Structure 1
Amino acid sequence: MNAPTESTTTITPVKVLVADDHAVVRRGIRAYLEALDDVEVIGEAGDGQEVLDRLGAMAVHRELPDVVLIDLLMPRLDGAATTALIAERFPGVRVVVLTSFGEMERVHTALGNGASGYLLKNAEPGEVVAAIRAAARGDVFLDPSVARQLTKEMISPPSGLGALTHRERDVLILVAQGRSNQEIADQLVISERTARTHVSNVLRKLALTSRTQAALVAVRQGLVPPQS
């Protein structure tokens, strides 16, 4: 009889790029992830523009990460806008948001821009790893508190102006004032893409089809004075 052969399984690690404007946070995440057999950190970035620059360079050598772990609040280009650009330019790269902000407005924007996961920074390390692994598989992983809020919205969705976030109300007022998406972005210190997303969300939530209709709603609800 032949002696039994011992089978070996080769683990292909999930390649991750960590993006956060705090070096200490990046190094802490990296140290934890690099202790795992099935995760490999292949780069870091301190802001959204650096993320895109690094991905562009990696794409040339066909060394793109599987997942970008990204914070939302970063200089030059925020995490939400960066997520949308990653989805557009590098569709094979998944994005997991790891941030301190749990407001549903930010959650909707991030998921709408293509994020595959959304975690708060008080998450357990195991949850972060689970989110990375899920994203690499093409699944979505949400912080439990975020998932509860989304479920609550689905069961009892608000209507009318009550459906709008504070930021979306601000956007509605600016739309009623005749501001363009770029002007809204400048006023609220956000990217033009994010402003456009907010405008689309306002129209969708109010079941409207044009900015003119949105302006009329704002006037009728007393958010802005009627044009003389």
Structure 2
Amino acid sequence: MNDNPIQLWIVEDDADWLRGLSRYLSGYDDMKLVFTASSPQLVREALRKGEHPADVVLMDIMLDGEAAGIALAEEAAMMTGARVIMLTSMEEKNLIFRSFQAGAIDYQIKSEFESIPAAIRAAYQRQSPISPMAAERMREEFQRLKLMEQEFERKKLKDLITPSELQLLELIDQGYSQSQMADKLVVSIRTIKNHVNHILRKLGHKGSREAAQHAKDMGLFRKEE
């Protein structure tokens, strides 16, 4: 065995898989399995006692039917300084993303256990690149969150302005002057000016074209047939 083997934890609630993975990783002389646990309670007790220093923690995302491994990953990383690799039997995008938010630095699919030793070494050497799969899942999740944020902002803007104000912004975007808008809507220029100023105050823009572009960018204008 090497003089300074990687101190390894495995947290896994499937007894058969825990035994198999423990046996598999014990065959590598640069790793030393110092602690295993099958429940969050055992992990938290070990963290509290501080009896088993860890370099790398393999953490199952799902424990006792819940995604308890995510919170444990954050606790283990903070209390031991270990690098946490999440183990999962399914590519659940939301859970993987939350694991990275909690401080995990990689994740491994259980069925691809042959890649786990290399992931452990990379984590130990603090050279863990985000795997292509993990990077793709994170990009997808960031995109989902971005779309949710855009939809929230679009709804907030839509609720803020009236249909008639939106019509004015649409006409401004189409290049109408205030006098042309007054003629088209059969109102006075003064009325148009008052409406435009009111819109600018509500939206916080300095110019009408800027406000119109904002509404357009948010997808509030009617789509052309």
Please confirm whether the aligned pair reaches a TM-score higher than 0.5, indicating the same fold: yes
For residues 204-219 of structure 1, the aligned pairs below 5 Å read 205=149
3-state SS, counterpart of residue 108 of structure 1 = helix
The question of 1:85 aligning with 2:85 is answered no
Query: Scaled by the length of structure 1, what TM-score is found?
Result: 0.59
Gaps of 5+ in 2: 160-225
Question: Partner of 1:46 in structure 2?
Answer: 38
Gap runs ≥5 in structure 1: 1-8, 164-204, 221-228
How high is the sequence identity, in percent, across the aligned residues?
26
1:42-191 alignment, distance < 5 Å: 42-57=34-49, 59=50, 61=51, 63-75=52-64, 78-90=68-80, 92-125=81-114, 127-150=115-138, 157-158=143-144, 162-163=147-148
Q: What do residues 117-137 of structure 1 show as CA deviations (whole Å, max 9, x unaligned)?
A: 111112141x10111111112
Mapped partners of 1:115, 1:12: distance in 2? 23
Paired with 2:151 and 2:79, the residues of 1 have a C-alpha distance of 31
Q: How many residues align?
A: 157
1:105 aligns to what SS in structure 2? helix
Distance 1:124 1:207, change over 3 A: same
Per the alignment, residue 216 of structure 2 pairs with none
After the TM superposition, which parts of structure 1 deviate over 6 Å for at least 4 consecutive aligned residues? none
**Cα separation, partners in 2 of 1:122 and 1:158, compared to 1, 3 Å:** same
Tell me what 1:31 maps to.
Answer: 23
Query: Given the two structures, how large is their TM-score scaled by the length of structure 2?
Result: 0.59
Using the alignment, how far apart are the partners of 2:131 and 2:63 within structure 1?
A: 21
- Work out the CA distance in 2 between the residues paired with 1:22 and 1:124: 15
